[in-house]
A and B are shown apart, each in its own frame.
Chain A
Amino acid sequence: MTTQLPPGISLEKVDDRIMTLNVGPQHPGSGHMRLIIKVDGDYIVSCDPDPGYVHRGEEKMAEYRNYIQNIPHLERPVIHDSSNILYPYCLAVEDLLGIEVPERAKYIRVIAAELNRCIYTLYWLAIYGIFLGHSTMFMWPAGDRELFIDLLEAMSGARVTHAYLVPGGIRNDLPANFEERCLRQVNYFEKRIKEYEAIFYQNPILKSRTEGTGILSRTDAIRLGTTGSVLRASGIDFDIRKKEPYDVYENLDFETVVMKEGDSYARSYVPYLEMFESCRIIRDALSKMPKSGSVRTKLKPNPKGGNEEVFKRVESGRGALGYYIVSNNRPEPYRVKISVGSFRNLICMPYLLKGELLGNMPSVYWSLNYWPVEADR
């Protein structure tokens, strides 16, 4: 029996050795996306990521709102890293409108961004635990996140979606006694995450599941255009905070974490070590910060950008995060393009998963520091 197919549609030839699995979008280990995986026995023959299930048109929405109205919705793609996703937007708009940011605001922005980076990394680590079948690894980071969420709540008034960074500085000044409380919580936080090393990262089963799986070589990491912790885990010393310092990062004392292995273990270990560097940055920023002064430069109502285009990028929890804004003498931007680290790291997934065991799929997938909602924007 032959069926006449509509034009443009062809049937896929089915191999009786190869089974096609649709991992997602309703799968506990897929996130808001689909992975079309072909397996031969337990080995993955090919993997085809299919993102786009949470596309919300953030870029198009930004063309209908003015520069201030854009703030709250632009942080929606990564609510766990909301300061970092707003950071390049603020930098770009400040460049566009020619605004000077007060010195104190610059330091507070850095503190907020680093706190948020830790919150994001812990959330990511928690889900990595679920992907590896380690329920304690989910509960501990998810609980320790609360320390910094409370701090950011005291700073901005919101627990998750802060909208704290605005063009021209920050929305409001720090509360009273914030420095003491912040130092205390950061010190305690550091003590807590030191325990993770012994229980999670030195765990023989976790090591055996992640070490030597999904190896991304140094040349491949550059060729595929990866960014962030994936790049640094493959042995490339690239951190935008060091290489193209923005705001006050050049005054602060911290190191870039680099590992040579390029496997899932290194990719999961680099963000963990970066949390210690974040704590160092926060402590340094708290000591160097001007103790008083203005925190926000007032903008004109409905400010208009010139006839120009700007590109600014920062180092977010998932790598380079850039905003390309085109303005045409109007209060609204003509075009906003968000370049996110997640989408750039997704590209190497078919390369990494080819030839791996099906059991390695979750550990390799989530080690890529991929946030589906951010990738779809």
Chain B
Amino acid sequence: MSTIAPQFRLSRFIASLFDIIFWVLLIFSLVGLPIVFIILFYIKLPIINGQLMTPYLALTWIADPSQTVPIIKSLIHTTFFHVVAFPGFGFAALLSAATIYVERKFLAKIQLRVGPLYCGRIEGILQLMGDGLKLISKEIIIPAKADKPIFWIGPLLFVGTAGAFVSLIPVAPGWVVANPTVSLLAVFATIGFFPIISVLTAWAANNKWTFIGGLRALHQMIAFEIPLILSLLSVVILTGTLNLSQIVQSQQHYWWIVFAPISAIVFFICILAELERIPFDLPEAESEIVAGWLTEFSGMMYGLIQLGTYLKLYAFAGLFTVLFLGGWNGPMVWPPLSPELITHGITIGPVNVQIAGLPLFSQPMLNGTLMFVIKTVGVILLILLPRGVFPRIRIDMLLHTGWYKLIGLAFVNIFIALGLLYAGVLGPGGLIQ
């Protein structure tokens, strides 16, 4: 199949390109430039390093690393950067996007398929971008009898809550968006919002399938929240703190999965249920209730819910890493920046560039991030695996598992933790430090 239209003429194509360029230049010079000058007239230009920051100077600085690096360095320690880019939303969204791609390829390999193959030439690496563009371009359909404000706000709330959850996960020493002294309690509070959002949107859509799906989501999440909280209590007992960064610091010598393996297993199963992943995807059970509480969502509203789901997946995997797998702790494998580079600068041929404040990120931070990402990706792969080998569980068995078996199991490790503490094996002045 040819991708070139049958009536294609190269000359006409080039002519149309010139046409477009002409009009763009004309409109820019007649409308754009006056607007830029009017804006510049009112803006008070900042003075950096004793120089007036004109647009011309800003452009030269972008090309000059010795001028840009200090600016970037001051930028990366602002709260804005933390929230938007590195330990916050951007980093999580990037990992989530990678997760979606890996999930599709991974599942395809289990199922003797190839998965996404064509989009982006190399193994369908741009498939997600294509899917995103498709979702953006699709029409958003609101059911006629829906409760419109709540129906609109549902996906936004979902992404917002998932983002709040992401912000509590410490990635590297000192690199966490929000660090309250009781951040584990804040995590519990954030998780508690998800069933409310599910039920609100399910009710607002005014559809029988969403209604059943919303009720199922509510039942499931409440049934698994209690064992989830109980399973984390053993870690809290062992560390004596509710701050996630301090919990990571307490695992410098051994990970808590060694002393609380049952808690780790219970927590992992609860993660699967909270994320509505197979075998616990009852709220979205396709063959029973169409798509559950997501039935009426279309276009980018569905896309936002998916984004929120994968942010939540990253956050839960990160929480597992932080609590049981030692977070950023690990062998120092990241090479240090050579001191000659900082003192003597970089020499390329005749040019020597002295860059001030070069170690943009410290070595422990980079190594910690690497360790955190490796562990988190491992946990994410474990979360993805059941989709290939398990069918969906039934609601009565699910509630039985949550309320009966997992709560019992979670208590077992609490007693083990208390025993270890009072026998003097762990804790302040214990045998193992």
Q: Which residues of A contact B (CB under 8 A)?
A: 19, 21, 27-29, 42, 129-140, 143, 199, 203, 205-206, 208-209, 357-362
Indicate the member of A19, A137, A138, A205 with the most B CB atoms within 10 Å.
Answer: A205
A115 to chain B, nearest CB (A): 21
Are A139 and B290 CB-contacts (below 8 A) given A134-B390, A203-B391, A208-B397?
no
**From B281, which residue of chain A is reached at the shortest CB distance?**
A133
Q: Complex: how many Å from CA A21 to CA B281?
A: 20
How many A-B pairs with Cβ below 8 Å? 79
Whether a CB of chain A sits under 8 angstroms from the CB of B111 is yes
Q: Complex: how many Å from CA A129 to CA B391?
A: 8
Chain A residues whose CB sits within 8 angstroms of the CB of B279 once the complex forms = 133, 205
Indicate the member of A42, A129, A360 with the most B CB atoms within 10 Å.
Answer: A42
Do residues B285 and A359 form an inter-chain contact, with CB atoms below 8 A? Answer: yes
Do residues B290 and A28 form an inter-chain contact, with CB atoms below 8 A? Answer: yes
Chain B residues whose CB sits within 8 angstroms of the CB of A208 once the complex forms = 393-394, 397
A305 to chain B, nearest CB (A): 45
B191 to chain A, nearest CB (A): 24
- The list of the 9 closest CB pairs from A to B, nearest first, reads A133-B392, A29-B287, A139-B111, A134-B391, A132-B391, A362-B287, A359-B394, A131-B287, A28-B286
Whether a CB of chain A sits under 8 angstroms from the CB of B36 is no
Q: Complex: how many Å from CA A29 to CA B289?
A: 8
Do residues B390 and A42 form an inter-chain contact, with CB atoms below 8 A? Answer: no
Q: Complex: how many Å from CA A206 to CA B281?
A: 14
Q: Complex: how many Å from CA A234 to CA B182?
A: 59
Do residues A359 and B395 form an inter-chain contact, with CB atoms below 8 A? Answer: yes
Are A135 and B396 CB-contacts (below 8 A) given A19-B208, A203-B391, A359-B285?
no
Which of B107, B112, B282, B387 sits near A359, CB closer than 8 Å?
B282
Whether a CB of chain A sits under 8 angstroms from the CB of B288 is yes
Q: Complex: how many Å from CA A361 to CA B285?
A: 12
Do residues B281 and A140 form an inter-chain contact, with CB atoms below 8 A? Answer: no
> How many residues on chain B are close to A (CB under 8 Å)?
28
Q: Complex: how many Å from CA A143 to CA B114?
A: 12
A187 to chain B, nearest CB (A): 19
Q: Complex: how many Å from CA A206 to CA B278?
A: 13
Do residues B113 and A139 form an inter-chain contact, with CB atoms below 8 A? Answer: yes
Q: Complex: how many Å from CA A360 to CA B110?
A: 27
Whether a CB of chain A sits under 8 angstroms from the CB of B34 is no
Do residues B111 and A140 form an inter-chain contact, with CB atoms below 8 A? Answer: yes
Do residues A135 and B394 form an inter-chain contact, with CB atoms below 8 A? Answer: no
Do residues B286 and A135 form an inter-chain contact, with CB atoms below 8 A? Answer: no
Are A209 and B393 CB-contacts (below 8 A) given A29-B286, A133-B286?
yes
A143 to chain B, nearest CB (A): 5
B301 to chain A, nearest CB (A): 20
Q: Complex: how many Å from CA A188 to CA B112?
A: 16
A43 to chain B, nearest CB (A): 10
Q: Complex: how many Å from CA A203 to CA B391?
A: 9
Do residues A28 and B394 form an inter-chain contact, with CB atoms below 8 A? Answer: no
Chain B residues whose CB sits within 8 angstroms of the CB of A132 once the complex forms = 287, 391-392
Indicate the member of B281, B391, B395, B396 with the most A CB atoms within 10 Å.
Answer: B391
Chain A residues whose CB sits within 8 angstroms of the CB of B391 once the complex forms = 129, 132-134, 137, 203, 205-206, 209
Whether a CB of chain A sits under 8 angstroms from the CB of B431 is no
